[in-house]
């Protein structure tokens, strides 16, 4: 395995003392993930959202307003976060990378939950933590990470009469030559409708079942140190949540995206083909979705976020009831963002802000800045060293992130000068840097080539929606040169120091 040394901040190991953590203490870790979750909560400034439980977690924790994944797609983002390595080290840049599993390239890497397991913790998982979410795709999980086999959902999605009818038809077409029984669709990964609102209880659907499993696990693990990972499936497509959550977002109160045009001057590599949404039977194979569908998908996404919020609340209530809150670090994150039509994109898999920025909330009972927000630039690759630092677990020497634990006490302290993400097109690799003010993306012919195919520059002071690419404007030539050098210098050069200069490129 390639070994990369972690650059540590001076004095970081003193954090355990300042927080009152002693060698014999082992704070629990409740590790909550959600799929395709953009920072669309009330606590992130979305007043239209009904997210009381996540907001309550934020009130006793910290909201990271600018947290970025390293690759905006499930497999690559999760592989990076859970190994503490960047995509160029995992060699998983997309869901279609030549390595289907990070251990194909890094057989002996010690993952985040595995590191806790190796240091006195019971490590257990329920739902989607790696790319595998269902029993039919268990091969994408990582048995070495867990003390017991990960619990995975059954693959069934649909519950309304129409949803079941369409799913059966899709399954019948795909298995016609194989002699499968049409009712066997529930045991297979079937994509039918893009959304539905079944009138069922929470626990009928997959995320309700994950919450139940998490509650049962807390009761079982309450007397020993645990790393409990819960991977909720929503708001990933199809947008399915119990009808009561849809009812919270009536059509007249839902605002659809207004910037549904491609950014002016965007490169040919920037757009996507909307490949995932187009797999669903009610999403057009080509062209634009209808305004009615745009509204329903926007409603459905919001309903799924509130449904996940309710499941998170159930688990946190049980944590409190068992008397574990005072000794448990809770972290909630989404693996990447999602476009709901913004920038003329439906889905993820881009280097835009909406794909790469995702929610991150951390609550540690010992933190000094509970209830605060930080605008510091942090990366998901930083989560591994952060949780180790907070729990007093040794840090492996191969990590490519930096613990942001000091921000939990001092949210306004100087921090990283940039966050790094990347995602490929069919022919080019896009490498993106997010500074305090700018997002700059450079497209090269291949992963290692320096032959440039295009550039993008978005000024977040004047254009927070990334509607206009200003990279080719003559007046920005010096700025592009500076950002190119900063991107080339890489993550090592962006690390915080005690004398960090936060001034962005001007």
What one-character-per-residue DSSP string does 262-273 give? PPBT--TTS---
DSSP-derived secondary structure letter, 71: S
**Which domains does the chain possess?**
12-157+195-417 (3.40.720.10)
% of the chain beyond a pLDDT of 90: 84
Tell whether the model's pLDDT for residue 400 goes beyond 60: yes
What pairs with residue 339 in β-bridges?
Answer: 347
More confident residue, 133 or 410: 410
End-to-end CA distance of the chain: 40
Q: How far apart are CA 40 and CA 319, in angstroms?
A: 24
- Section 420-447 average pLDDT: 93
Buried b (16+ CB within 10 A) or exposed e, 339-364: bbbbbbbbbbbbbbbbbbbbbbbbbb
- The alpha carbon dihedral of 138, 144, 146, 149 has a sign of positive
Q: What is the mean pLDDT of residues 120-124?
A: 98
pLDDT at 176: 78
Higher pLDDT, 408 or 498: 408
Strand intervals (E) in 78-233: 122-127, 195-196, 226-232
Phi and psi at 339, nearest 5°, equal -100, 125
Q: Which of 155, 245, 231 is nearest to 196 (CA)?
A: 245
Q: Grade residue 140 by pLDDT with cuts at 50, 70 and 90.
A: confident
Q: How far is CA 401 from CA 8, 129, 278, 416, 480, in A?
A: 9, 19, 35, 11, 26
In this predicted structure, the answer to whether residue 504 has a pLDDT above a threshold of 60 is no
Q: Is residue 333 pLDDT above 60, yes or no?
A: yes
Comparing C-alpha atoms, which of 357, 458, 435, 490 is closest to residue 77? Answer: 357
Q: Residue 451's pLDDT band (boundaries 50, 70, 90)?
A: confident
Catalytic residue set: 74, 131
Helix 291-321 vs helix 52-59: crossing angle, to nearest 10: 50
Q: What six digits make up the tokens of 145? A: 């990470």
Contacts of 433 (CB under 8 A, 6+ apart): 418, 419, 420, 439, 440, 441, 483, 486, 487
Task: Determine the Cα–Cα distance for residues 445 and 167; give it in Å rounded to an integer.
Answer: 40
> 284 and 292 in contact (C-beta within 8 Å)?
no
Q: Is the pLDDT of residue 251 over 70?
A: yes
pLDDT score of 448 more than 80: no
Predicted local confidence at residue 177, as pLDDT: 61
- Residue 501 pLDDT > 80: no
Instruction: Average the pLDDT over each of 16-20, 144-148, 330-334, 432-436 and give the range with the smallest value.
Output: 16-20
Of residues 5 and 206, more confidence is placed in 206
pLDDT confidence bin for 417, thresholds 50/70/90:
very high
pLDDT at 320 over 60: yes
The two three-digit tokens of residue 70, written as one number: 């390293």
Question: Do the Cβ atoms of 417 and 494 come closer than 8 Å?
Answer: yes
Mean pLDDT of 77-94: 96
pLDDT of residue 395: 97
Helices (H), 153-246: 161-174, 206-221, 243-246
Per DSSP, the chain holds a count of helices (H) and strands (E) of 12, 15
For the chain, the average pLDDT equals 92
As a whole number, mean pLDDT of residues 90-110 equals 90
Report the pLDDT averaged over residues 243-253: 97
Given pLDDT bands bounded at 50, 70 and 90, which one contains residue 180? confident
Tell me the average pLDDT across 72-99.
93
């Amino acid at each position: 395995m390639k070994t990369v040394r972690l650059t540590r901040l001076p004095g970081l190991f003193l954090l355990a003392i300042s927080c009152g953590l002693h060698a014999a203490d082992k704070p629990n870790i409740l590790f909550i993930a959600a799929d395709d979750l953009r920072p669309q909560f009330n606590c992130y400034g979305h007043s239209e959202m009904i997210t009381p439980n996540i907001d309550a977690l934020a009130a006793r924790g910290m909201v990271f307003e600018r947290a970025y994944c390293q690759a905006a797609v499930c497999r690559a983002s999760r592989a990076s976060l859970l190994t503490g390595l960047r995509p160029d080290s995992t060699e998983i840049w997309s869901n279609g990378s030549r390595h289907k599993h990070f251990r194909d390239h890094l057989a002996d890497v010690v993952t985040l939950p595995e590191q806790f397991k190796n240091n006195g913790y019971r490590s257990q998982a329920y739902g989607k933590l790696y790319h595998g979410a269902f029993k039919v795709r268990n091969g994408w999980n990582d048995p070495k990470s867990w003390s017991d086999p990960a619990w995975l959902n059954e693959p069934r999605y649909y519950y309304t009469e129409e949803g079941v009818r369409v799913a059966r038809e899709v399954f019948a077409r795909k298995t016609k030559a194989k002699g499968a029984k049409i009712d066997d669709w529930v045991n297979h990964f079937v994509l039918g409708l893009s959304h539905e609102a079944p009138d069922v209880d929470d626990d009928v659907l997959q995320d309700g079942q994950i919450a139940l499993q998490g509650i049962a696990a807390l009761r079982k693990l309450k007397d020993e140190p645990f790393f409990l990972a819960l991977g909720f499936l929503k708001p990933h497509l199809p947008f399915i949540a119990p009808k009561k959550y849809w009812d919270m977002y009536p059509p007249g109160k839902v605002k659809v995206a207004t910037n549904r045009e491609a950014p002016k001057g965007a490169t040919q590599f920037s757009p996507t083909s909307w490949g995932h949404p187009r797999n669903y039977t009610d999403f057009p194979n080509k062209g634009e979705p209808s305004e009615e569908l745009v509204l329903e998908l926007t409603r459905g996404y919001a309903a799924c976020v509130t449904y996940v919020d309710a499941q998170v609340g159930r688990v946190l209530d049980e944590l409190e009831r068992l008397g574990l809150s005072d000794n448990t670090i809770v972290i909630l994150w989404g693996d990447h963002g999602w476009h709901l039509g913004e920038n003329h994109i439906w889905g993820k898999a881009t280097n835009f802000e909406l794909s790469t920025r995702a929610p991150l909330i951390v609550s540690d009972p010992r933190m000094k800045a509970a209830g605060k927000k930080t605008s510091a630039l942090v990366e998901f690759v930083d989560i591994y060293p952060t949780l180790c630092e907070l729990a007093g677990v040794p840090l492996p020497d191969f990590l490519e992130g930096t613990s942001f634990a000091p921000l939990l006490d001092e949210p306004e302290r100087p921090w990283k000068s940039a966050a790094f993400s990347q995602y490929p097109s069919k022919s080019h690799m896009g490498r993106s840097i997010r500074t305090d003010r700018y997002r700059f993306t450079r497209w090269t012919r291949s992963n290692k080539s320096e032959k440039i195919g295009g550039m993008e520059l978005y000024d977040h002071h004047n254009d927070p929606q990334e509607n206009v690419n200003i990279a080719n404007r003559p007046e920005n030539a010096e700025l592009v040169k500076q950002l190119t050098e900063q991107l080339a210098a890489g993550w090592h050069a962006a690390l915080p120091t005690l004398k960090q200069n936060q001034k962005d490129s001007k």
